[in-house]
Structure 1
Amino acid sequence: MCLFQILKLNNKLKEKTADQKTLRRLAQNREAARKSRLRKKAYVQQLESSRLKLTQLEQELQRARQQGIFISSSGDQAHSMSGNGALAFDVEYSRWLEEHNRLINELRAAVNSHAGDTELRTVVDNVTAQFDDIFRLKGIAAKADVFHILSGMWKTPAERCFLWIGGFRSSEILKLLVSQLEPLTEQQVAEICNLQQLSQQAEDALSQGMDALQQSLAETLASGTPATSGSSGNVANYMGQMAMAMGKLGTLDGFLRQADNLRQQTLQQMHRILTTRQSARALLAINDYFSRLRALSSLWLARPRE
């Protein structure tokens, strides 16, 4: 075979190889485009599903309002909870969050416009007082359905990830604020660190109490003989066992109340330590933190799935 024929054959082989690479690349591009279309379609479908669920929830809340199953700001709150405690609290929490966002926007505007201390203090006091409202509402709701409040089902998934006895850990919030409020005086730093330490100790004590309660409850439910044989003795033992378990569950709202008291007192002590403007910045930082958690939950639920 002459040199010319060899070169010609090599060129053909190169062209064939190049054509195969091109075909593979085109096939890969088509496959990638197909998967992209599928992901986009799934994402759009999920958004539509989320929209329908939101619409259904809004309709349920509207029906609840029409039926009077919510906490009236001027009526008998404990009585209005009796119909459906979980739904009633969810409706009221939604209202609280809407009002909270309005107050935070007012606070942010006052800070950005460099409002005077007197005006700023009024807005700060309004936001702080609103925190007192949610603690009161949780206490009422816990009497109707303590499991709903403790489980945090009224919050978003990302918020529930950091939930501690039906709410936030005061010690973690204080850690967050120390880095957000610089510069602080040496005395302020010392007082905040002391408050953080006291909060941590109180949290540890409550956590140990909850652990002990859960252990005791598990032991109570695990002991005894199930009432399956039909004998009156077994039935009596079973009922006694359930009565003991119910009595222990009755202490759950006490743990929730103590945890909320700790959160409330921590916020009050924080405002005592900080200046008016620092308190305003602290409240904005706390709000921004929980807003990001709620946004993270929305993004997570709406993420594309393969």
Structure 2
Amino acid sequence: MHSTTTQYVASRRMGLYEPMHPIGMWGEFKGNGCSNASASMILQVETNLDNQSEDTSHGTSGTPNKYDQEASKPVDKVLRRLAQNREAARKSRLRKKAYVQQLENSKLRLMQLEQELDRARQQGMYAGGGLDVSQLTSSGTLNSGNATFDVEYGRWVEEQNRQLNDLKTALHSHTSEGELRVLVNGGMKHYFDLFRMKETAAKADVFYLLSGMWKTPIERLFLWIGGFRPSELLKILSPHIEPLTDEQVLHVCNLNQACQQAEDALSQGMDKLHQFIAESVAKGLLGDANYISQLKAAMENLEALERFVKQADHLRQAALQQMSGILTIRQSARGLLALGEYLERLRTLSSFWLSRHNEPA
């Protein structure tokens, strides 16, 4: 044993002996797809190196453990690489899970659109002219501007659901007011983003926006000039933000009254526009071909529809801002949660309604 050790030390000094490197062995086993075997081989090589170092230290006094230190470095590097691989695999699984969830949401939205199209065909809208042919391109698909808005609105709903989950978790876990403020501001901004999206959509096709075809059937039942009526939602949300102080009750009542007055003014304006267009189209004798001038006048007034939608969304935005200023942060968080859940329940009710014929008897 002593002579062997002496030869080993002498050969290392002359550069004639190169020990088996753990990295080289890891590369071989990794290439063969044997990760478990390679891990055990690394431990075996590490044990052999320790034994060799121990034997060498017995044969040569005063020789440092430099060989042990050099041997441990590649092993540490491999272990770090293994940890990095595990972390990369974990992140990959998370990305895959999010992608699958997105596909499921898109599938649900597609099913809803298909059901609405089937119902439209059954009602003869394509044959009877109930569906405006200007909505269709030469390829038979929906207008690209409307389709873009539908996609953006679908993403908006998905993001709103995520924000609702965050709000619900924060309220149940007694999150600090500072963190709640961030969530409330984010929720308010999300609604303001929707109003900007609708303004762009109204410029492209105001009739599509007013028809509410971008919403579910039950939501369309409560539609008012392209959206929800602020005064009605204030009444719905009030029980969820109590208790209120006397001053808050007074401010909420004043806000509700102001919203009703503004809504009445916009509704009266829409009624007058409707009446003017009907009279413009009906002017002249039956069979008279000189009706183009009346249609031009009606066209000029139709442009006012875009302004009505914009003013209605400004009223909705102002109501949200005023309500946020009246309430505390925690009350505002509960109000946003109640508003989001109310709209979500309307969408769920629509899904039940559309799928009622598919249920087994």
Do both proteins adopt the same fold according to a TM-score greater than 0.5, normalized to the shorter chain? yes
Tell me if structure 1 keeps the 8 A contact 2:150–2:214: yes
Question: For 2:158 and 2:108, how far apart are their aligned partners in 1?
Answer: 19
Question: For 2:185 and 2:249, how far apart are their aligned partners in 1?
Answer: 23
- TM-score scaled by length of structure 1: 0.70
Tell me if structure 1 keeps the 8 A contact 2:112–2:351: no
Aligned match of 2:262: 202
Question: For 2:311 and 2:334, how far apart are their aligned partners in 1?
Answer: 27
Tell me if structure 1 keeps the 8 A contact 2:160–2:340: no
2:175 maps to which of 115, 134, 141: 115
Deviations 1:103-130 (A, max 9, x none): 1211111111111001110011001001
- Equivalent AA in structure 2 for residue 264 of structure 1: Q
- Equivalent AA in structure 1 for residue 326 of structure 2: I
1:221 maps to which of 281, 303, 317: 281
1:259 maps to which of 286, 304, 312: 312
After the TM superposition, which residues 147-166 of structure 1 pair with which residues of structure 2 at under 5 Å, given as runs? Answer: 147-166=207-226
Question: For 1:85 and 1:277, how far apart are their aligned partners in 2?
Answer: 39
Question: For 2:216 and 2:347, how far apart are their aligned partners in 1?
Answer: 6
After the TM superposition, which residues 141-152 of structure 1 pair with which residues of structure 2 at under 5 Å, given as runs? Answer: 141-152=201-212
Aligned match of 1:296: 349
RMSD: 2.5
| 3-state secondary structure, aligned to 1:115 | coil
Deviations 1:159-201 (A, max 9, x none): 0000000000000111112122111111111100110000000
Tell me if structure 2 keeps the 8 A contact 1:221–1:241: yes
Aligned match of 1:274: 327
| 3-state secondary structure, aligned to 2:244 | coil
Aligned match of 1:131: 191
How far did residue 52 of structure 1 move?
11
Deviations 1:29-57 (A, max 9, x none): xxxxxxxxxxxxxxxxxxxxx97962986
Stretch of structure 1 that moved more, 167-176 or 296-305: 296-305
Question: For 2:292 and 2:112, how far apart are their aligned partners in 1?
Answer: 44
Change (3 A) 1:208 1:146: same
How far did residue 224 of structure 1 move?
2.2
The reply to whether residue 54 of structure 1 matches residue 107 of structure 2 is: no
Deviations 1:202-243 (A, max 9, x none): 0001000000100010000111246x6xxxxx65x3221211
Structure 1 runs of 4+ with >4 Å offset: 50-53
Change (3 A) 1:55 1:197: closer
Deviations 1:246-301 (A, max 9, x none): 11110001000000000000000000000000000000100111111111111111
Structure number with the bigger relative contact order (C-alpha 8 A, sep ≥ 6) is 1
Stretch of structure 1 that moved more, 216-225 or 152-161: 216-225
| 3-state secondary structure, aligned to 1:212 | helix
- Equivalent AA in structure 1 for residue 294 of structure 2: Q
Question: For 1:192 and 1:106, how far apart are their aligned partners in 2?
Answer: 26
Question: For 1:93 and 1:52, how far apart are their aligned partners in 2?
Answer: 11
The reply to whether residue 212 of structure 1 matches residue 269 of structure 2 is: no
Change (3 A) 1:299 1:198: same
Question: For 1:103 and 1:180, how far apart are their aligned partners in 2?
Answer: 18
Question: For 2:109 and 2:250, how far apart are their aligned partners in 1?
Answer: 51
Deviations 1:60-103 (A, max 9, x none): xxxxxxxxxxxxxxxxxxxxxxx622111111101111111111
2:164 maps to which of 101, 104, 109: 104
How far did residue 136 of structure 1 move?
0.3
2:155 maps to which of 95, 100, 112: 95
Aligned residues: 228
Tell me if structure 2 keeps the 8 A contact 1:157–1:297: yes
| Structure 2 unaligned blocks of 5 or more | 1-106, 115-142
The reply to whether residue 247 of structure 1 matches residue 304 of structure 2 is: no
Tell me if structure 1 keeps the 8 A contact 2:222–2:228: yes
Question: For 1:150 and 1:52, how far apart are their aligned partners in 2?
Answer: 20
How far did residue 304 of structure 1 move?
3.8
Change (3 A) 1:172 1:152: same
- Equivalent AA in structure 1 for residue 315 of structure 2: L
Question: Equivalent pairs: percent with the same residue?
Answer: 54
Tell me if structure 2 keeps the 8 A contact 1:152–1:163: yes
